[in-house]
Chain A
Amino acid sequence: MTAEAHGHHEEHHSSTGLDNRKLGMWAFLGSETMFFGSLILVMLINKHNTLGGPGQEVLDLVLTSFTTFVLLTSSLAMVLSLAAFRNGSLLWGRIWLGMVMLMGLIFLGGQVYEFTEFVTHKHLTPSTNLFGASFYTLVGFHGAHVAIGVLWLGTVLAYTWRGRFQPGMDMWGIELVGLYWHFVDLVWVAIFTLIYLI
């Protein structure tokens, strides 16, 4: 098609003014609330279902508080990254994006350590009792979301060297991963409060 057809902006018009991809992301995240809602409910039902085996007391509040703090801080880095890209600073955009990834990896590392510790020293496996099964399912499901987020962030970061997200370009690619990342963060606030704290 001709350049004129591309320049013609009729097709990018949307009824709400929101980008299609962003609206689609919101719909997806709406669906995700029900995924995590169901999992959290299953966890709450089985919180004290230990069959006399290891239960909530195995949770390491100190370590998890630290990784929680790191994950929450990563949302700030995400915001700073988007702001930097918008202001045309590729360098700072990349640095903050890398920071988000690093913090996501620290969180995941904490989780891997936690899981290994529980299995080897606390003798809690998914088949020990339903506390364990529900815990590994919920926290593992969330961890998988964080891992996908880190991979996604890495892809976005790589694309900054391939001509995307340059000053003056549209930033929806970063906004999308940002929305996802904040959502995964928010879910962790609920999990941490309901499972670890109370």
Chain B
Amino acid sequence: MATVTATAPDTRTFAGTAWSWITTVDHKRIAVLYLVTSLAFFMLGGLEALLMRLQLATPEADVVSAERFTELFTMHGTTMVFLALMPLSAAFFNLLVPLMIGARDVAFPRLNALSYWIYLFGGIFMNISFVAGGAPNAGWFGYAPLTDTAFEATHAIDFWAFGLQILGVSSILASINFIVTIINMRAPGMTLNRMPMFVWMSMITAFLIIFAFPAITIGLVLLIFDRYIETSFFIPEGGGDPVLWQHLFWVFGHPEVYILILPAMGIVSEILPTYSRKPLFGYAVVAYSGAAIALVGFGVWTHHMFTVGLGPIADTAFAISTMAIAVPTGVKIFNWIATLYGGSISFKSPMLFAVGMVAMFIIGGLSGVMLGSPPIDSQVQDTYFVVAHLHYVLFGGTVFGLFAGIYHWFPKFTGRFMHDGWGKVHWLLMLIGFNLTFLPQHMLGIDGMPRRVHTYAADMGFDLWNMMSTVGSLMIGLSFLIFIINALRSIRHGEPSGGDPWDGGTLEWTIPSPPPVYNFAEIPVVDGRYPAWDIKRGGGHTGAVATAPEAGAEADEPDIHMPNPSYWPIVMAAGMVLAACGLIFHQAFILLGAMLFVISLVGWIEEPAG
């Protein structure tokens, strides 16, 4: 195991290729794994949504039963948040952070692989529940006492609780990794204030994750105790308090919203300057407003609980902090618009998605400010108005932003363009479908249609809006199919892009596509916020010429030591998830999982990391 060549699997055979992916510790390949897996879960979550929309298309329909509907909205929310959007953001962290800061890999490559495998197995574990006696059915927020054994005696909730614990481990490990990578592995000259905005937002997101996830972890521990060892933390009969669950959940849950949106904001902050051919307007303000959002984001959680009855003082305080958070958010939006102003804009598909993100996010932000007012919230709590709001933020904001990123960096992943024309079709269809789906839900909410109810009566005036919403959701589904076909086709037959197809300003565009395994033949020296532009046009912050890394064109590979591949991450992840299976199926799995964990831990320590 001393050198790369000694352990490099033979990639000419299928088994060799599979083994090379299983043991990879290369951040770019892990990014691909994250991307593919999260898109698969995105499709699954989307199918769950389509089933719900089909059920709601007409009044008193019978497409799915009420019980199944409950499982669908629970798993749709859980899947989209934890298995689709967060890992899709993680795919971008993995691909871009080391490339953008001029590093050869992340700080802990094997830990990075471990995070991925835990995520994959955790996602599969949670979805096994569909065929193992019933899927989780208490909502993605799992409000007590619905999660108590008195109301759900099957293992549905256990799958959810253990699944979230497993995914939490993955997120925290990945975040520690990226915090250390960003703080400690920047290329010479890459000061914090010269980091690309995406790196800034990644760092802030990672800090949010390590500080927010522990709250839900503890909440879930207490829930598991309530279910397994007869404590009564959330059960009123035993002196417990269901509202405590809500606090623990939303102390995590609200920062989670920013965990989902900040990476997309970072992506948009890279794309808008590139296609406007101008630096980001107000760089420092955009970075610090991201930090302000994260900080204030820890102090707004009870706006999810305005109707719980915490009293006027608490409601007022949290209404004020909630509205205050609109300020740094608005600052970002104005800076994006100012970036576009006077630029020579080219509307390629990534740019269309980025502009779509800004526009849709504004609508979601505005309905968010409305919901931040307790009197309004009390009227529309638990109606489709809230569903509309959260989808404008998380679909209109996050999903549009992440797709912008996929179109923009696809050439960096693969060396080929995605088809721009079909990209624009995807964008247009998704934009129309999205608005057709969720704009009417504002009206439904104001008219009083409750969310999480599997049907409605015919004479409520809900028919038209619901039918529109269902048609729109089918359009979103179709647009996603177009995207998948476009992507699959472009991997093999797309137009070759070269290393720098968009005239990018950040370091990843100074190296070939796809990047060589060591990223940079020579670690670059950075002199400004857009080093690639400096190299191409001369001049940097100090006027000194930035060093261009060799484009890796040399005939002989440079002698750069990279970390060895390792199979311990996947073994360790398997051990953890097997142990969780043991708590549901049979105790023998706990022993087996623990053994795998210990063996892999020893193997991990003994293995030369390279």
Chain A residue at minimal CB-CB distance from B562: A1
The docked-state distance in angstroms from the alpha carbon of A35 to that of B605 is 26
> Is A14 a contact of B184 with CB atoms below 8 Å?
yes
Give chain A nearest CB distance to B335 CB in angstroms.
Answer: 26
Residues of A whose CB lies within 8 Å of any CB of B are 1-2, 5-6, 10-11, 14-16, 18, 20, 23-24, 27-28, 30-32, 34-35, 37-39, 42, 45-46, 49, 51, 126-127, 129-130, 133-134, 137, 141, 155
Question: Which of A16, A38, A46, A137 meets B248, CB within 8 Å?
Answer: A38
| CA gap between A133 and B235 in the complex, in Å | 12
Task: Determine whether the beta carbon of A27 is less than 8 Å from that of B218.
Answer: no
B177 touches A24 (CB 8 A): yes
What B residues does A137 contact at CB under 8 A? 221-222, 225, 231
From A18, which residue of chain B is reached at the shortest CB distance?
B184
Known pairs A23-B184, A24-B108, A34-B215; list 4 more (Cβ under 8 Å): A31-B213, A31-B214, A34-B211, A35-B217
On whether A129 and B214 interact (CB within 8 A), knowing A2-B559, A24-B176, the answer reads no
B239 interface hit (Cβ, 8 Å) = yes
Assess A31 versus B210: contact at CB under 8 Å? Given A5-B561, A15-B186.
Answer: yes
> Smallest CB-CB separation from B187: which chain A residue?
A15
B238 touches A129 (CB 8 A): yes
From known contacts A15-B183, A30-B210, A130-B233, infer whether A35 and B218 are also in contact, taking CB-CB under 8 Å.
Answer: yes
Given A15-B184, A20-B107, A126-B225, CB of A30 within 8 Å of CB of B211: yes
Chain B 420-474 residues near chain A, CB threshold 8 A? none
- 19 A–B pairs (Cβ distance < 8 Å), ordered by A: A1-B3, A11-B104, A14-B184, A15-B184, A24-B180, A31-B176, A31-B210, A34-B214, A38-B214, A42-B244, A45-B244, A127-B232, A129-B239, A130-B238, A130-B239, A133-B225, A133-B231, A137-B221, A137-B225
In the assembled complex, B544 has its CB within 8 A of some CB on chain A:
no
Q: Give B156-196 as 1s and 0s: 1 = Cβ < 8 Å from A's Cβ atoms.
A: 00000000000000001001110110011110001000000
**Nearest B-chain residue to A23, judged by Cβ:** B180
A141 to B214, CA, bound (A): 13
Per-residue CB contact flags for chain B residues 567-600 toward chain A (1 = under 8 Å, else 0) read: 0000000000000000000000000000000000
Partner of B183, one of A16, A37, A155: A16
| Cβ–Cβ contact B214 & A35, under 8 A | yes
Question: Could you tell me the distance in whole angstroms from the C-beta of B463 to the nearest C-beta in chain A?
Answer: 46
Chain B interface residues toward A at CB < 8 A:
3-4, 104, 107-108, 172, 175-177, 179-180, 183-186, 190, 210-215, 217-219, 221-222, 225, 229-233, 238-241, 244, 248, 251, 523, 559-561, 605
Closest chain-A Cβ to B74's Cβ sits at a distance in Å of 24
Contact among A6, A30, A51, A133 for B561, CB-based, below 8 A: A6
Nearest chain A residue, comparing its CB with the CB of B240 = A130
A30-B186 Cα distance, complex, nearest whole Å: 22
Task: Kindly state the separation between the CA atoms of A24 and B175 in the bound complex, as whole angstroms.
Answer: 10
Of all chain A residues, the one with the shortest Cβ separation from B210 is A31
Q: Do the beta carbons of A127 and B218 come within 8 Å of each other? A: no
Q: With contacts A15-B185, A42-B222 known, is A31 near B244, CB below 8 A?
A: no
> In whole angstroms, how far apart are the Cα atoms of A28 and B180 in the complex?
11
Nearest Cβ on chain B to A180's Cβ, whole angstroms: 14
Report the Cα distance A133→B560, complex, angstroms: 55
Nearest chain B CB to A93's CB is how many angstroms away? 20
Give the docked Cα–Cα distance between A34 and B218 (Å): 9
Set of chain B residues within 8 Å of A18, measured between Cβ atoms: 184
- A130→B4 CA distance, assembly (Å): 55
Q: How far is the CA of A96 from the CA of B239 in the complex (A)?
A: 46
Question: Who on chain B is nearest to A50 by CB?
Answer: B239
Q: Least Cβ distance of A183 to chain B in Å?
A: 14
- CA–CA, A153 to B162, complex, Å? 29
Assuming the contacts A20-B184, A31-B172, asked whether A127 and B229 have C-beta atoms less than 8 A apart, the reply is yes
* Chain B residue at minimum C-beta to C-beta distance from A30: B210
B96 to chain A, nearest CB (A): 18
B244 to chain A, nearest CB (A): 7
Given A31-B214, A126-B225, A137-B221, A20–B108 Cβ distance below 8 Å?
yes
Give the residue of B210, B215, B225 whose beta carbon is less than 8 angstroms from that of A27. Answer: B210
A6: chain B residues at CB < 8 Å are: 561
Q: How far is the CB of A187 from chain B (nearest CB, A)?
A: 13
A59→B190 CA distance, assembly (Å)? 55
Decide if B239 touches A49 in the complex (CB within 8 Å). yes
The residues of A that contact B248 with a CB separation of less than 8 Å are 38
Q: Check if B239 sits within 8 Å of A127, measured CB to CB.
A: no
- Report A-chain residues with C-beta under 8 Å of the C-beta of B559: 1-2, 5
- B176 and A51: CB pair below 8 A? no
Contact of A126 among B180, B212, B229, B244 (CB under 8 A): B229
Point out the residues of chain B lying under 8 angstroms from A11, CB to CB: 104, 561
Closest CB in chain B relative to A168 CB, distance in Å? 20
Q: Please state if A133 and B232 are interface contacts (CB–CB under 8 Å).
A: yes
Q: How far is the CB of A121 from chain B (nearest CB, A)?
A: 20
Residues of A within 8 Å of B183, CB to CB, are 15-16, 23
Query: Most A CB atoms within 10 A — which of B218, B225, B232, B244?
Result: B218
Residue among A10, A35, A38, A137 having the largest count of chain B Cβ atoms under 10 Å? A38
Q: Which residues of B contact A16 (CB under 8 A)?
A: 183-184
Q: Is there an interface contact between B215 and A24, defined as CB atoms closer than 8 Å?
A: no
